[in-house]
Chains A and B, each alone.
Chain A
Amino acid sequence: MNEFFEFLQSQSGKLAQQTLTHINLTLISVAIAIALGVPLGILIARRPRLAGVVLGFAGVMQTIPSIALLGFMIPLLGIGPQPAIVALFLYALLPIVRNTYTGINGVDPTVKEAARGMGMTGNQVLFRVELPLSMPVLIAGIRTATVINVGVATLAAYIAAGGLGEFIFGGIALNNTHMILAGAIPAALLALLFDFLLGRLQKRLKWRLGLAAVAGIAVLFLAMLLATSSAGKLLAGFTPEFMGRMDGYLGLKKVYGLNMRNVVINDAVMYQAMHESKLDVISGYSTDGRIKAFDLVTLEDDKTIFPPYYAAPLIRSGILEQYPGLESTLNLLAGRISDSVMTLLNYQADFLKKSPENVARNFLRQQGLYRPPRRGNKGVVRIGSKIFTEQYILVEMYRMLIEGHTDLAVSSKTGLGGTKICFDALTNNQIDFYPEYTGTGLLVLLQPPADAITRLVQHKDSVYQYVQAQFMQQYNLRWLRPIGFNNAYALMMQRKKADELHVHTISDLAKITTP
């Protein structure tokens, strides 16, 4: 608990700023949704034929998964607050339009007739009778929209619009509970606060005053927002995880003195944003299939701040003793797959939509390692994997090797959420091995003191040797020989742009971005 408050204190500046951004995103989008949604609701209450179409459209908007909607926005509006606000606005539209429509339709027809009978004009009936009487329903719609948007606005961090999502997703990526809570708790409190305030407002709202306030908020914040967006210099997009790590942005700043304009963005939309030339530099993984798909180059880490992430099977010692032929079979893959080969294999699965099984079989055939399954029954080896393409492909390869080269059978448990889950499954004897990366073993699982890390990461072999020794000693687990490729962090640029600017190493980048 104390640690949490210390964390909050250390992050208080950023926390305040992100909370403010979060409030901005929510209020602007809801204000725009009110400014457009209420008139739209009034219109369809007047013209019932339009109601189906309008409500249908707004309903469809709501069913689009948020992250997909944000993705659609990138080609249209790029990244940053604008597309986030548009997406949030679309989400807020339905509850507001629908409630305005229901509210106005719900006003007693006799009362409306009385209003007309007293000599009110159409607008007077609307502003003096229909709107005041539908106000509770209308405000309920605004409350719903606001609460939804406080939640959805956390996803704005995916497309570089900031907000409390940066803490939440950063925390998830870095496995840092304090960081997650530092985002989630304020977000929950904001939702409650807005709900409460709007509930109060419902009782004493002067309609015109409210309208003016809404319009005011929208204009004010929009102006603030537009004022802060600038263009021109190179822009980097980093994942929340990368932002918070010493072997990430923090190291870039410290070791390279890199000081460039940057935004926080989600891995899934980052490459697309780069492809649309909305970003100039991104952080990624060096074997990602998208490097090939989008024709990117990785910048050389000439001062070695990114630790090596060589992949190798992490395996229980017990199973190796139990089945003596197993180790040599698994080692058939050792040193066979380079970075570019792994990138190609990932590309085949992710972009050419081949199944990991096909990709694995083709590769083994090329290497002359493929043998048809022997359907042996001497025992079962249980393989685990994390949930991404590269791991699926590797697991398929190991399965084919074991089934073809030994009399053992395989049961694979693909889709074990993350590092921690795989590792726990392994130490609890629920799986026998899974492909792991030396950097992950060092930084996530062993977590040695900082100075030890700085010393170790300079060399690929020293990390491997260190994790091998430590895992044996602490967990009785063995690292088999590395497969060859290094799926480390890397900075990437579009090939064309990198050539244009003559940027090939991170030092080059630091030089041209530092004034």
Chain B
Amino acid sequence: MIEVRNLGKTFGNVHAVQQISFTVAEGENLILLGTSGCGKTTTLKMINRLLDPDEGTVLLNGTDTATIPPARLRRGMGYVLQHTGLFPHYTVAENIAVVPRLQHWKKEDVRARAAALMQKLGLTWQEHAHMYPHQLSGGQQQRVGLARALAADPPVLLMDEPFGALDPITRNRIRQEFSELEEFRKKTIIMVTHDVQEAFALATRVCLMDKGRIVQMGTPEELQQRPANEFVRAFLKL
């Protein structure tokens, strides 16, 4: 469904990403795993064209994404930002409604969808719908961020540390809840994390990166059983 070929991106003289290639089949969960600064976010943003690659191409169902208008491309890809990035002037309900409204959904449908998602993610309409992001806890903000990305039911989901900045216990719980959602199971997901446990819990395949390059890619079992080198072994604490 998504094919990434030889992506490369340079900022000044920092090679943020070099020769990244992978394919993600429909319904698969690919986890980009790696140390801080290894180019995970950069890779993700090149997939929805928030960044233009210096080298390489991204294909969506066989079409080069460079030929798809960015706005249209992105409406078909839910995006969860590393730092939630909620709209501070919108309420929770309005934040969740952003993409459906861009797609001119009917008002009742938007509201129903938002209410349903909120419920699934452990927020209640009465209590939270009319709150503003700054009135929410960090965990609640991340839930709203997830709901916003899921709202228009996009086939693809890009998630950049969706459970980052949470304490381990909350983090585990939200992750657990999330992985049980039907949305999670039927979507094609590319997710960034630097938490090994999280990666293994959610991944169909893991893509382990270091210094802008892919070090090893495979199912969690493959990585665990046949680590490619010392870095992989150390990173996975084997």
Residue among A114, A115, A124, A133 with most chain B CB within 10 A: A114
State the Cβ distance, A108 to closest chain B Cβ, in Å: 8
B81 touching A133, Cβ below 8 Å: no
A113 touching B71, Cβ below 8 Å: no
B81 touching A114, Cβ below 8 Å: yes
B81 touching A119, Cβ below 8 Å: no
Instruction: State the CA gap A115–B81 with chains docked (Å).
Output: 11
Interface 1/0 per residue, B98-136 and A, CB below 8 Å: 110010000000000000000000000000000000000
Q: Which residue of B lies closest to A114 (CB)?
A: B85
Q: Which residue of A lies closest to B79 (CB)?
A: A117
Given A110-B81, A110-B83, A124-B102, A117–B74 Cβ distance below 8 Å?
Answer: yes
A133 touching B50, Cβ below 8 Å: no
Q: Which residue of B lies closest to A116 (CB)?
A: B50
- Determine whether B48 belongs to the interface, using a CB cutoff of 8 Å to chain A: yes
Q: How many residue pairs, one in A and one in B, have C-beta atoms under 8 Å apart?
A: 52
Instruction: State the CA gap A114–B141 with chains docked (Å).
Output: 14
8 Å CB contact of A114 from B73, B75, B76, B87: B87
Cβ–Cβ < 8 Å partners of B99 in chain A: 118-119
Within 97-147 of A, Cβ neighbours of B (below 8 Å) are at: 108, 110-111, 113-121, 124, 129, 132-133
- Determine whether B37 belongs to the interface, using a CB cutoff of 8 Å to chain A: no
Number of interface residues of B (CB under 8 A): 21
Within 56-113 of A, Cβ neighbours of B (below 8 Å) are at: 108, 110-111, 113
Interface 1/0 per residue, A287-326 and B, CB below 8 Å: 0000000000000000000000000000000000000000
Cβ–Cβ < 8 Å partners of A121 in chain B: 71
Cβ–Cβ < 8 Å partners of B71 in chain A: 119-121, 124
Given A110-B81, A114-B81, A119–B74 Cβ distance below 8 Å?
Answer: yes
Cβ–Cβ < 8 Å partners of A118 in chain B: 74-75, 79, 98-99, 102, 148
Interface 1/0 per residue, B64-97 and A, CB below 8 Å: 0000001111111001010101111100000000
Cβ–Cβ < 8 Å partners of A116 in chain B: 50, 70, 74
State the Cβ distance, A137 to closest chain B Cβ, in Å: 13
Q: Which residue of A lies closest to B98 (CB)?
A: A118
Instruction: State the CA gap A132–B85 with chains docked (Å).
Output: 16
B50 touching A113, Cβ below 8 Å: yes
Instruction: State the CA gap A115–B50 with chains docked (Å).
Output: 11
Instruction: State the CA gap A113–B48 with chains docked (Å).
Output: 11
8 Å CB contact of A120 from B88, B89, B102, B148: B102
Within 117-168 of B, Cβ neighbours of A (below 8 Å) are at: 148
Cβ–Cβ < 8 Å partners of A114 in chain B: 79, 81, 85-87
B74 touching A111, Cβ below 8 Å: no
Cβ–Cβ < 8 Å partners of A133 in chain B: 88-89
State the Cβ distance, B72 to closest chain A Cβ, in Å: 7
State the Cβ distance, A460 to closest chain B Cβ, in Å: 76
Cβ–Cβ < 8 Å partners of B102 in chain A: 118-120, 124
Instruction: State the CA gap A121–B102 with chains docked (Å).
Output: 10
Residue among A111, A116, A119, A121 with most chain B CB within 10 A: A119
A117 touching B85, Cβ below 8 Å: yes
Instruction: State the CA gap A129–B88 with chains docked (Å).
Output: 9
State the Cβ distance, B118 to closest chain A Cβ, in Å: 18
Instruction: State the CA gap A16–B123 with chains docked (Å).
Output: 58
Cβ–Cβ < 8 Å partners of B79 in chain A: 114, 117-118
Given A110-B81, A124-B102, A117–B50 Cβ distance below 8 Å?
Answer: yes
Cβ–Cβ < 8 Å partners of B85 in chain A: 110-111, 113-114, 117
Q: Which residue of A lies closest to B154 (CB)?
A: A119
B87 touching A117, Cβ below 8 Å: no
8 Å CB contact of B81 from A113, A120, A129: A113
Q: Which residue of A lies closest to B101 (CB)?
A: A128
Q: Which residue of B lies closest to A135 (CB)?
A: B89
Cβ–Cβ < 8 Å partners of A108 in chain B: 88
Q: Which residue of B lies closest to A132 (CB)?
A: B89
State the Cβ distance, B217 to closest chain A Cβ, in Å: 25
Cβ–Cβ < 8 Å partners of B75 in chain A: 118-119
Cβ–Cβ < 8 Å partners of B50 in chain A: 113, 116-117
B72 touching A119, Cβ below 8 Å: yes
State the Cβ distance, A207 to closest chain B Cβ, in Å: 11
Cβ–Cβ < 8 Å partners of B70 in chain A: 116
Q: Which residue of A lies closest to B133 (CB)?
A: A111
Cβ–Cβ < 8 Å partners of B87 in chain A: 111, 114-115, 129
Cβ–Cβ < 8 Å partners of B148 in chain A: 118
Instruction: State the CA gap A15–B54 with chains docked (Å).
Output: 68
Instruction: State the CA gap A232–B88 with chains docked (Å).
Output: 59
Instruction: State the CA gap A108–B136 with chains docked (Å).
Output: 18
Cβ–Cβ < 8 Å partners of A129 in chain B: 87, 89
State the Cβ distance, A515 to closest chain B Cβ, in Å: 62
State the Cβ distance, A35 to closest chain B Cβ, in Å: 24
8 Å CB contact of A111 from B48, B73, B76, B88: B88
Cβ–Cβ < 8 Å partners of B81 in chain A: 110, 113-114, 117
State the Cβ distance, B190 to closest chain A Cβ, in Å: 14
State the Cβ distance, B78 to closest chain A Cβ, in Å: 9
State the Cβ distance, A133 to closest chain B Cβ, in Å: 6
State the Cβ distance, B165 to closest chain A Cβ, in Å: 13
Q: Which residue of B lies closest to A124 (CB)?
A: B102
Instruction: State the CA gap A285–B121 with chains docked (Å).
Output: 84
Cβ–Cβ < 8 Å partners of A110 in chain B: 81, 83, 85
Instruction: State the CA gap A120–B98 with chains docked (Å).
Output: 9
Q: Which residue of B lies closest to A125 (CB)?
A: B71
Instruction: State the CA gap A115–B73 with chains docked (Å).
Output: 14
State the Cβ distance, B189 to closest chain A Cβ, in Å: 15
Q: Which residue of B lies closest to A107 (CB)?
A: B88
Instruction: State the CA gap A118–B72 with chains docked (Å).
Output: 10
State the Cβ distance, A305 to closest chain B Cβ, in Å: 67
Q: Which residue of A lies closest to B158 (CB)?
A: A117
Cβ–Cβ < 8 Å partners of A119 in chain B: 71-76, 99, 102
Instruction: State the CA gap A440–B160 with chains docked (Å).
Output: 84
State the Cβ distance, B34 to closest chain A Cβ, in Å: 21
Cβ–Cβ < 8 Å partners of A124 in chain B: 71, 102
Within 39-54 of B, Cβ neighbours of A (below 8 Å) are at: 48, 50
Q: Which 8 A-B pairs have the closest CB atoms?
A: A114-B85, A119-B75, A119-B74, A117-B79, A110-B85, A121-B71, A119-B71, A132-B89
12 inter-chain pairs at a CB distance below 8 angstroms, sorted by A residue, are A111-B86, A111-B87, A114-B79, A114-B85, A114-B86, A116-B74, A117-B48, A117-B85, A118-B74, A118-B75, A118-B99, A129-B87
Beyond A110-B81, A119-B72, 9 additional pairs, beta carbon < 8 A: A113-B50, A113-B81, A117-B74, A118-B98, A118-B148, A119-B76, A120-B102, A129-B89, A133-B89
